[in-house]
Structure 1
Amino acid sequence: MFAGVDVSYAGDRLAAAVVVLDAALGVVDRVVVKGRPAFGYVPGLFAFRELPAVLEAFERLTVRPDVVVCDGQGRAHPRRFGLACHLGVLLDLPSFGVGKTRLVGVAADPTPARGSASPLVDRGEVVGALLRTRDGVKPVYVSAGHRMDLDTACALTLRLTPSFRLPETTRIADRLSRDALL
């Protein structure tokens, strides 16, 4: 089972959503926690701002997922420890991040075919991959978090993107968190 995590903001309020999908990508459980950020925005420390609400959402789940997929980064972070790393360690679950934007590193544009990838390299180290999840569509940034290697993270990202650019886990969690703030 795959847990997807996303957090939305409206002014000084936030909504942290966790959705759990089964192997067929059907929703098994979902939780939304509303609150306020733990502190103001500090570049590079975004995970600490969201973690209290996200962890509370995980505590309320009725099932334990096998893998955590974050809307953000894992090792592809200036400190090599983004939200996917934090959550994986704190929950003791394999985790990885799939981000829409790059925080660090450089990567060549992958070929236009679904499944093509290029290494994301920062300071001489491969920290992630630029992965094409749809033919001819803008790629995403995938990075390992905790107890997960990059090849597995990329393979799972492709498994979780049967129809859209972003993983179903991220798409559903994003919708839940946004709707909670309406």
Structure 2
Amino acid sequence: MKVPSSVEEAVALQVALAPSVVTTPPPDFAPRTATGLDVAYATDSPLVAAAVVTVEVATGEVLESATAVGEAGFPYVPGLFAFRELPTLLEALGGLSVAPELLVADGHGLCHPRRFGLACHLGVETGLPTFGVAKTPIGEYEAPADTRGARTPLVDGGEEVGAAVRTQPRVKPVFVSVGHRIDLDTACALSLTLAPRFRLPETTRQADHLSRRTLRNHAA
């Protein structure tokens, strides 16, 4: 993908692409696998390491992974992280031998000032069903009950843009939002299935570990 040359160009591109997001899944959507994506950043250079990890939805077993190392070609600007991460993430996705059925981004989708976060951009760019699971919210929410599976709306500008989901009892919720070709109920249900033991989905945990390890090995 072409990286915008300015913040203004990046914002305009998000505004132009946002109407492309589809908030319904394909017919009979029942993915057997899910592919998590994450990026690790070097602290002293523009170097980034992207990792994608495909797991079996039912068991969390890792089936395949791929990595890529590149440089962040866009400045650090809130709301525009996709332009820093997408080129290297897409390169890593190209290294998989089996096409993903579903992408799970470490970040937001419709929960974004222009309703076009990283998960939306990934989904529109690849055409794949995608949702985001973020550690911190954009917008406001009431804390869900302490039981696993409890959920409350995540609201921004008076619009429901996602959900706060309690994946483990008495543990901070995660923030789930639609990326592309999926609905919020399905995204929340899959988030729970993919997080049987920990706060974060296994897709995110595995991709996070692999991206950090790849960055360390590259710098060594």
Q: With the length of structure 1 as denominator, give the TM-score of the two structures.
A: 0.97
Kindly indicate whether residue 204 of structure 2 is the aligned counterpart of residue 170 of structure 1: yes
Shift of 1:60: 1.0
Q: Distance in 2 between matches of 1:167 and 1:134?
A: 11
Matches within 5 A, 1:2-151: 2-11=34-43, 12-23=46-57, 24-102=59-137, 104-151=138-185
Distance 2:78 2:144 in 1: 28
Distance 1:39 1:68 in 2: 23
Alignment deviations for residues 2-55 of structure 1 (CA, whole Å, 9 cap, x no partner): 000000111321100000112322111101111110222122111011110000
- 2:91 and 2:118 map into 1 onto residues whose CA distance is 15
State the 1:105 CA deviation.
Answer: 1.3
Query: Aligned with 2:180: secondary structure?
Result: coil
Identity fraction in percent? 57
Q: What does the per-residue CA deviation read over 1:51-84, in whole Å, with 9 as the maximum and x for residues that have no partner? A: 1000011111101111100000000011111010
Counterparts of 2:97 and 2:56 in 1: how far apart (Å)?
13
Deviations 1:107-141 (CA, angstroms, capped at 9, x unpaired): 00000000000000111110000000001101000
Runs of 4+ residues deviating >2 angstroms? none
Please list every run of 5 or more consecutive structure 1 residues that lacks an aligned counterpart in the other structure: none
Amino acid in structure 2 at the alignment position of 1:175: H
| Equivalences, count | 181
What is the DSSP-based 3-state SS (H/G/I as helix, E as strand, rest coil) of the residue aligned with 1:74?
Answer: coil
More moved, 38-47 vs 75-84: 38-47
Secondary structure of 1:52 counterpart: helix
Q: Which amino acid counterpart does residue 42 of structure 2 have in structure 1?
A: A
